[in-house]
């Protein structure tokens, strides 16, 4: 996938520049010396950084830099891929998520994920939202109803959907579908929300709604968002990690990374000189 | 001079701008592809026309079979009379000997036709009198053709059709004076006789059958106890005591029923009709032996419709008689539908589970590829091979062991150790399982990865994801596979001939005797019925109309089963169709 030998750029990388921490709730995910390769092609090289609890962290970088790959490692979505090799550690709340005794299903219940393209299930809106509860075997109508309403309100979809909860979710618009997917993730009561370019398939108005919603989720959830859109990173994130060719180049407070980058590559990327 | 030379060189050095050759914008016909499209369209049209033509041919012949036809009375030049339904006519080439035997005028006429004569096939019936049902009558021997109104067409329980006139009718101890086919007294007596015949049949088959079944059950109980516990054991003693206690009552009941049947039969003999064929040969029949009779040349439109419908009713709701060439096909309809549904019950879970394992759980590698290729190739194995396998493996293998273990008292008569509806369904399930596997695998592969990831990201296990998201989404595709399997299985005959289909099944696989479902029984099948009637009966000419009707029916039954499955599929599909606003 990513053949480093064919990339004309300077193969010399300086060590990662890490800005001072800004959060007060400690760290939720620690990435330590994490490498990943698909067969012979290495996608991630020796990543070391920590995601701070309760903040919104943006992962930015040009296409193929490994930011989505890294995000999908957090809830082990990459397990579905054959021939995947990893080394190093990712710790979630102090436990190595790649340890052999880890319960992947339990891990995914603590981390909601929103994908690039909205992927509502072919069911009613209601059933989509309460899907995580159905999985857990929750039968109580009251609990289901209450969770549905709470999740849809948190995802700013309640007003639009409350009168048609029994209608098919596939009848919603793209932006509504994506907010439905966010509601579904929230209904599972996760600690971390992983968002893989959640707005790339949406128009500006739907994007604005989702960004507004992310802003409200801050504090209650740790949000990690992969984005191609640097303006979006500036608008929604507290911390930004800039990745390039599988390496973390610079990480820290969003304003510091964008306005006072420590590395020339970061400077070039955030000012639009390449990317 | 010098300057001129230089000028020449300069002129030659200057590049003359040549015309730029642009790409041609014309498109060749072959590039557009229309000729191919026309050829493909023509091929499709030919195919469709052939299929529609075939269906129309079958349905037309099937639908007109039961229409009552007029009976012609042909007086030959020799003075002999032939009466029958004209069935079809054709040109034929006379043999040289036959030509020489003709009168000169006729022979000359034939010669101008190139040696061809014309002849008509008459359904003359009266097989018991003349040993033939059909007779060819060449045109040149015909003197006169007439359609007399008093000629009747009779369908009998035995010996097939009778064509002739009513001579006399005896109802009880009185004779009808100058009986006609429309005589109300005759019609009433006929109806009564038919009802009486139904009663006799009910007594002989159902009531006496029940007594026999109870007697047989007692005998089997004794034998079972003797085999399992030993002939001198307490259990055997008890069974023998039970048999001794119950047999007298059953025997008495048997005698009572037989006497009742005999009484009814003696009444039946008192109601008789004497028929005379066109030449005057007489035949005495009990009235109950007449299924249907009508004056073939004296029918109103309403009469024709009612005869037509009554024949269809008999065909759909009665049992076959006369070596299957007459009567109904109810047992065959029942057997076909029951066997097909049983097959679907077996093939659907096995096929879907296999495909799920292959696609979702098995590690994709060489072994899975080999399995997949093998499954695909299974669909190409000739079906008769499956029949041989089914007979050897299911009936003689598994079935024989079941008999040894559970039905030792019935041996050496096999219970499961011979062909039956269960083994047929299993054999056809084997035959059709590749179709279901392939279709299910395709359907599973078509479920978008994003759906699975969405479910897994919610914390669903792999099984929950498959159950809640993948399977419902793949269901229309799976249904398509099941429909294809059903269509293939319902029309298959060759393997069934080895594993359970019979010409005439005495009992249905479902009845009122415990345990009500008898999957070990052999059964009748419409496909085999077609083969049997068309090619195995004593008179293929008589069977031909039944072949068309039965084919119609088989196509109808399969179409109905498929339609039902398609309706279910479209309901499933609608659930996944987009907007509902």
Q: B92 has which bridge partners?
A: B117
Chain A positions touching B454 (Cβ under 8 A) are 115, 119-121, 181, 184
- ipTM here: 0.87
Q: Among A15-19, A175-179, B125-129, which stretch is predicted with the lowest mean pLDDT?
A: A15-19
Interface of A with B (CB under 8 A): 75, 77, 80, 82, 105-106, 108-109, 111-113, 115, 117, 119-122, 131-132, 134-136, 164, 167-168, 170-171, 181, 184-185, 188, 194
Mutation choice for B interface testing from A108, A117, A125 by most B CBs within 10 A: A108
- B306–chain A nearest CA distance, Å: 53
Show Cβ contacts of residue B496 under 8 Å, excluding neighbours closer than 6 positions: B339, B387, B424, B427, B428, B525, B527, B528
| pTM recorded for the entire structure | 0.80
pLDDT digits (tens, 9 = 90+) for A101-118: 888 888 888 888 998 888
For chain B, give every domain's residue range.
Answer: 72-156, 167-312, 330-526
Mutation choice for A interface testing from B361, B364, B458 by most A CBs within 10 A: B458
Can you give B171-188 as a three-state secondary structure string? ECCEEECCCCCCCHHHHH
Mean residue pLDDT across chain A: 85
pLDDT digits (tens, 9 = 90+) for A144-170: 999 999 888 888 888 888 888 888 888
pLDDT score of A6 more than 70: no
Chain B positions touching A164 (Cβ under 8 A) are 581
Q: Measure the CA–CA gap between B487 and A118, rounded to whole angstroms.
A: 39
Is B472 in Cβ contact with A115 (below 8 Å)? no
DSSP for residue B373 = H
Q: Measure the CA–CA gap between B518 and B411, rounded to whole angstroms.
A: 17
Pick the CATH number of B330-526 from 1.10.3720.10, 1.20.1530.20, 3.40.1190.20, 2.60.40.10: 1.10.3720.10
Chain B positions touching A121 (Cβ under 8 A) are 451, 454-455, 468-469
Can you give A23-89 as a three-state secondary structure string? CCCCEEEEEEEEEEEECCEEEEEEEEEEEECCCEEEEECCCCCCHHHHHHHHCCHHHHCCCEEEEEE
- Looking at residue B579, its pLDDT comes to 35
Per-residue pLDDT of chain B (581 residues; tens, 9 = 90+): 455 556 777 667 777 777 788 888 888 877 888 888 999 999 999 999 999 999 999 999 888 888 888 898 998 888 888 888 888 888 888 777 877 777 777 778 777 877 788 889 998 888 888 888 888 888 888 888 888 888 889 888 888 888 888 888 888 778 877 778 888 888 888 888 888 888 888 888 888 888 888 888 888 888 888 877 777 887 778 878 888 888 888 888 889 888 988 888 888 888 888 888 888 888 888 888 888 888 888 888 998 999 999 999 988 888 887 777 778 888 888 888 889 999 999 999 999 999 999 988 888 889 999 998 988 888 888 889 999 999 999 888 888 888 888 777 777 777 777 878 889 999 999 999 999 999 999 999 988 888 888 999 888 888 999 988 888 888 888 888 998 888 888 888 889 888 888 888 777 777 777 777 777 788 888 888 888 888 887 777 777 888 898 898 888 888 888 888 888 888 877 766 543 33
What backbone torsions phi and psi does residue B184 show, to the nearest 5 degrees? -60, -35
Is A113 in Cβ contact with B455 (below 8 Å)? no
Residue of B451, B468, B575 with shortest CB distance to A119: B451
Residue of B451, B459, B464 with shortest CB distance to A121: B451
- Looking at residue B576, its pLDDT comes to 63
pLDDT score of A12 more than 70: no
pLDDT digits (tens, 9 = 90+) for A119-138: 898 888 999 999 999 888 88
Long-range contacts of B180-187 (CB under 8 A, 24+ apart): B180/B150, B180/B295, B181/B150, B181/B152, B181/B293, B181/B294, B181/B295, B181/B298, B182/B295, B186/B273
Q: Which residue bears the tokens 């589970």?
A: B353
Q: Measure the CA–CA gap between B26 and A69, rounded to whole angstroms.
A: 49
Is B472 in Cβ contact with A135 (below 8 Å)? no
- Looking at residue A2, its pLDDT comes to 46
- Looking at residue B134, its pLDDT comes to 87
Q: B82 has which bridge partners?
A: B74
């Amino acid at each position: 996938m990513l053949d480093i030998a064919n990339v004309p750029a300077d193969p010399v990388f300086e060590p990662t520049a890490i800005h001072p921490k800004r959060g007060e709730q400690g760290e939720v995910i620690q990435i330590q010396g994490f490498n990943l390769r698909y067969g012979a092609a290495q996608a991630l090289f020796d990543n070391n950084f920590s995601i701070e609890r309760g903040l919104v962290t943006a992962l930015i970088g040009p296409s193929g830099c490994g930011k989505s790959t890294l995000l999908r490692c957090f809830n082990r979505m990459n397990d579905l891929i054959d021939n995947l090799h990893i080394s190093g550690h990712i710790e979630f709340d102090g436990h190595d998520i790649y340890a052999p005794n880890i319960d992947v299903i339990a891990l995914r219940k603590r981390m909601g994920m929103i994908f690039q393209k909205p992927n509502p299930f072919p069911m009613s809106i209601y059933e989509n939202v309460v899907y995580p509860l159905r999985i857990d075997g929750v039968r109580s109508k009251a609990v289901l109803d209450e969770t549905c309403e709470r999740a849809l309100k948190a995802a700013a979809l309640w007003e639009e959907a409350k009168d048609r909860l029994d209608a098919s979710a596939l009848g919603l618009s793209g932006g509504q579908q994506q907010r439905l997917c966010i509601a579904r993730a929230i209904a599972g009561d996760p600690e971390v929300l992983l968002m893989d370019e959640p707005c790339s398939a949406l128009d500006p108005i739907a994007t604005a709604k989702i960004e507004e919603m992310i802003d409200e989720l801050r504090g209650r959830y740790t949000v990690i968002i992969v984005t191609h859109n640097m303006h979006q990173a500036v608008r929604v994130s507290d911390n930004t990690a800039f990745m390039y060719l599988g390496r973390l180049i610079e990480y820290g407070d969003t304003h510091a990374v964008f306005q006072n980058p420590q590395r020339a590559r970061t400077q070039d990327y955030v000012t639009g000189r390449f990317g | 001079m010098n300057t001129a030379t230089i000028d020449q060189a300069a002129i030659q050095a200057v590049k003359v701008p040549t015309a730029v050759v642009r790409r041609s914008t014309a498109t060749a016909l072959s590039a557009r592809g229309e000729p191919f499209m026309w050829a493909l369209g023509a091929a499709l049209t030919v195919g469709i026309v052939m299929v529609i033509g075939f269906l129309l041919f079958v349905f037309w012949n099937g639908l007109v079979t039961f229409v009552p036809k007029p009976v012609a009375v042909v007086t030959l030049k020799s003075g002999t009379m032939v009466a029958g339904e004209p069935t079809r006519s054709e040109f034929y080439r006379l043999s040289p000997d036959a030509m020489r035997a003709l009168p000169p005028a006729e022979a000359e006429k034939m010669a101008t036709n190139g040696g061809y004569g014309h002849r008509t096939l008459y359904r003359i019936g009266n097989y018991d009198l003349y040993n033939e049902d059909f007779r060819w009558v060449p045109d040149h021997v015909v003197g006169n053709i007439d359609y007399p109104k008093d000629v009747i067409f009779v369908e009998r329980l035995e010996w097939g059709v009778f064509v002739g006139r009513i001579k006399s009718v005896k109802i009880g101890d009185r004779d009808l004076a100058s009986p006609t086919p429309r005589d109300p007294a005759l019609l009433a007596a006929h109806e009564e006789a038919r009802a009486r015949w139904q009663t006799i049949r009910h007594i002989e088959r159902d009531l006496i059958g029940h007594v026999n079944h109870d007697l047989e059950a007692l005998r089997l109980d004794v034998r079972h106890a003797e085999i399992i516990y030993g002939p001198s054991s307490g259990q055997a003693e008890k069974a023998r005591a039970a048999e001794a206690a119950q047999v007298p009552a059953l025997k008495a009941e048997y005698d009572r029923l037989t006497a009742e049947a005999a009484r009814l039969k003696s009444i039946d003999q008192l109601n008789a009709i004497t028929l005379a064929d066109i030449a005057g040969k007489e035949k005495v029949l009990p009235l109950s032996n007449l299924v249907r009779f009508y004056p073939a040349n004296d029918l109103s439109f309403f009469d024709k419709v009612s005869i037509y419908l009554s024949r269809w009713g008999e065909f759909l709701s009665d049992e076959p008689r006369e070596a299957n060439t007459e009567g109904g096909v109810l047992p065959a309809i029942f057997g076909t539908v029951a066997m097909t549904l049983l097959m679907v019950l077996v093939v659907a879970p096995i096929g879907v589970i296999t495909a799920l394992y292959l696609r979702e759980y098995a590690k994709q590698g060489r072994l899975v590829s080999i399995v997949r290729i093998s499954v695909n190739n299974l669909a190409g194995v000739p079906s008769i091979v499956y029949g041989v396998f089914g007979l050897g493996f299911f009936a003689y293998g598994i079935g024989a062991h079941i008999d040894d273990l559970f039905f030792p008292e019935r041996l050496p008569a096999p219970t499961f150790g011979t062909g039956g509806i269960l083994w047929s369904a299993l054999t056809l399930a084997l035959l059709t399982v590749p179709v279901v596997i392939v279709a299910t695998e395709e359907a599973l592969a078509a479920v978008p990865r994003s759906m699975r990831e969405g479910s897994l990201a919610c914390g669903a296990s792999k099984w929950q994801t498959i159950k809640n998201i993948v399977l419902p989404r793949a269901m229309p595709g799976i249904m398509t596979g099941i429909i294809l399997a059903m269509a293939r299985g319902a029309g298959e005959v060759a393997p069934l001939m080895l594993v359970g289909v019979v010409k005439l099944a005495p009992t249905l696989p479902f009845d009122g005797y415990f345990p009500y479902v008898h999957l070990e029984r052999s059964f009748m099948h419409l496909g085999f019925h077609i083969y049997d009637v068309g090619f195995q009966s004593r008179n293929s000419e008589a069977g031909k109309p039944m072949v068309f009707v039965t084919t119609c029916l088989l196509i109808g039954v399969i179409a109905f089963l498929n339609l039902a499955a398609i309706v279910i599929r479209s309901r499933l599909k609608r659930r996944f169709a987009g907007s509902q606003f």
